[in-house]
Each structure stands twice: as structure tokens, then as C-alpha cells.
Amino acid sequence: MTEYAFKKTGRKVSNWGRWGDDDEKGTLNYVTPDTVKQALSAIRTGERYELSIPVGDSGPQTGWMKRINPVHTMSVTPYDLTGPDGVAISDDFITMPLQSGTQLDGLTHVGYDGAFYNGVPLDAMTPGSGATRNAVDATLPGFAGRAVLLDVASLDGGEWLAAGRAVTVADLERAEEAAGVRLGTADALLVRTGWLRKGLTQGWQGWLEEEPGLAPECAEWIHERELAMVACDNWGVEVLPASDGMVPLHAVLIRDMGMMLGEMWNLEDLAEACRADGTWDFFLTATALRITGGAGSPVSPVAIR
């Protein structure tokens, strides 16, 4: 039997041991106080863009793999609790899959051949306690630093890339050139495929069944550039369905390189701003919730231009 190609790539780009045998942060290790400080130069105006889709029942989920849209209910409202001082209180609940909307994949979200990132055995993910190693709370304070938006959808001249369209290294480099930037150590890469725009404007029907996204070959490029994080506006970063296993790019980026992936990030307004002034890099913060044992987390990424 021929080996899946992604495993060969995985061995090439592996970061296991690179930051210590107990490391649980992976490529976030590229981020240092120095890189954070240097990245401040990417802030020109101080304008901010938050990059999430709504957390609620308007989301794309259908119940597949138990992924429902977040359910928000009120537990206290002014109809319930009003004091003699006239004070009224509102409290609320959320029930949600951590993978249902704008999110960060943690380092136990995907593993293969018995191991997660850094050789952590798969049974470190326990059904009852969640991730006992490589949990999402170990990635805090998360990402801060320079990020670059590569708007491949616009470069292609359409509103969104077609389902199944693989974004290649050539696409990324063409976009870099068009943007006049070069991604490097500790940067975050944001790729706009337009797929989220399709969902937001045409509805979610069929949206989760396929998508344009990064080609598996991007793994080596991401590794060479020493990027800290990759996030996209599609639901799974990579082009899907894949032809080399289930999620070959996830497998390599998360398990071999130790990289958190950002999914369903709303890059629409940010892209418009970048287009308007021709500046495609900025400061970005993206921090998971401190979920004990979490395999992922909803996130409110903020770009400061």
C-alpha cells in the first residue's frame, strides 16, 4: 500500500521537539515579545476590524457531526428580576459546538497515526476530561503580531473561488506580489477565498459540503516562511474534499507543525479596507477562550490597521 503523501510532507515540516518535548504551543512559539513589538509598525491608523460571524442560530451548521448552530437562551430577564430599586437584570446561556463558527482549531483537533502534535498520544484526548495535553488553554495568550491578508478571490476577479479550487503556492506568491508584502517569521496568514461571502449572500445550503481552499502543497511554504498561524474565510482552511486522505493539510499543519488554524473568519470588511488603501498587512490578535481540555475555541479576532 502506498503511503498517503501528506505523511511524507509531515515528516519534512515536523516541529516535534523544536521547542521542547513538553511544548504545547507549536508555531505560536514564533511569536515572541520582540515579534509583537515589531509588528506594531503594521498599525498605521488604529482602525479595527473584528473578524467573526454571528454566534447564534443564523450560522451555517446543519447538525452534521453533531455540529449545530449555537443555541442562546435567556436565564434571567427584566420580566423575572426587578428589585425594589427598579433594577432589572439579564443573564444568558450559550450551548455550542466549539467548532460551529469563527474558531481556532486547537492542537488536539486533528492527529494521525497515534499521535497529536509533539508526539502526544491520541489517548491524551479523553472523552470525559477533554484534552489532558495540547489543550486549547495551553495556547494562551494566543496570537498577536503582524498578519497579512492575501485576497485570492479578488485576484481571480470574482466574488468567490469555486468549490474545489485549490489555492496553490503560486497563488499565494502572486497575491503577495500584488499586495507588495512578503510573509515571514511569526506572521499570520489570512487567505480570502470568498467562500464565506457566498454563504452570507447566497445562503448556507450545501456550503459545508465542499469548499475552495489551500492546496496540500502550501504546507511546506508555510513551514519555510515560519508562519505562526493560518486563517481563512472558508470552513476548513484547505480545499475539500481532498484527494489525499480526509484532511491532509489539517493533518500536517496541526499535528506535524503544531499550528492552530482559523476557520470561518469574516474577512469581508477587512478586505475592502485593504483594497481601498492598498495596504495588506496589519496587527492581529486572536486568543482562544481558556477552555479546560478544549480541542478548539470560538474566537473574536481583531485586526488593527
Name which of 11 and 177 has its Cβ closer to its own copies. Answer: 11
| Residue 264 identity (one-letter amino acid) | M
| Minimum distance of its own copies from residue 177's CB (angstroms) | 29
Tell me the closest approach of the beta carbon of residue 261 to its own copies, in angstroms.
13
Least distance (Å) between residue 303 CB and its own copies: 9
CB atoms within 10 A of CB 245: 15
Site for its own copies in 224-263 (CB under 8 A): 244-248, 250-251
Instruction: Tell me the closest approach of the beta carbon of residue 233 to its own copies, in angstroms.
Output: 15
Sign for the pseudo-dihedral over CA of 51, 57, 62, 66: positive
Nearest to 153 by CA among 163, 161, 142, 145: 161
Q: Are strands 213-214 and 296-298 parallel, antiparallel or unpaired?
A: unpaired
- Residues 135-154 touching its own copies, rule: CB under 8 A, are 137, 140-142, 144
Cα separation, 80 vs 151, whole angstroms: 48
Q: Which is nearer to its own copies, 130 or 262 (CB)?
A: 130
H or E, element range at 98: none
Minimal distance in Å, beta carbon 270 to its own copies?
11
198 within 8 A of 235, measured Cβ to Cβ = no
C-alpha closest to that of 53 among 151, 163, 197: 197
x/- mask, its own copies, residues 66-105, rule CB under 8 A, reads xxxxxxxxxxxxxxxx-xxxxxxxxxxxxxxxxx--x---
Stretch that binds its own copies, among 49-57, 158-166, 174-182, 225-233 (CB under 8 A): 49-57
CB 145, CB 285: distance < 8 Å: no
**Residues comprising the chain, all counted:** 305
CB 190, CB 148: distance < 8 Å: yes
One residue of 43, 155, 166, 169 binding its own copies per CB under 8 A: 43
**Is residue 276 near its own copies by the rule CB under 8 A?**
no
Q: Of 14, 23, 30, 131, which one interacts with its own copies (CB under 8 A)? A: 131
Query: Given the rule CB under 8 A, which of 109-117, 146-154, 159-167, 221-229 is the region that contacts its own copies?
Result: 109-117
Q: Does 162 bind its own copies (CB under 8 A)?
A: no
Contacting its own copies within 16-35 (CB under 8 A): 32-35
Based on C-alpha coordinates, what's the Rg of the chain? 20
Chain positions 163 to 182 lying near its own copies, rule: CB under 8 A, are none
SS3 45: coil
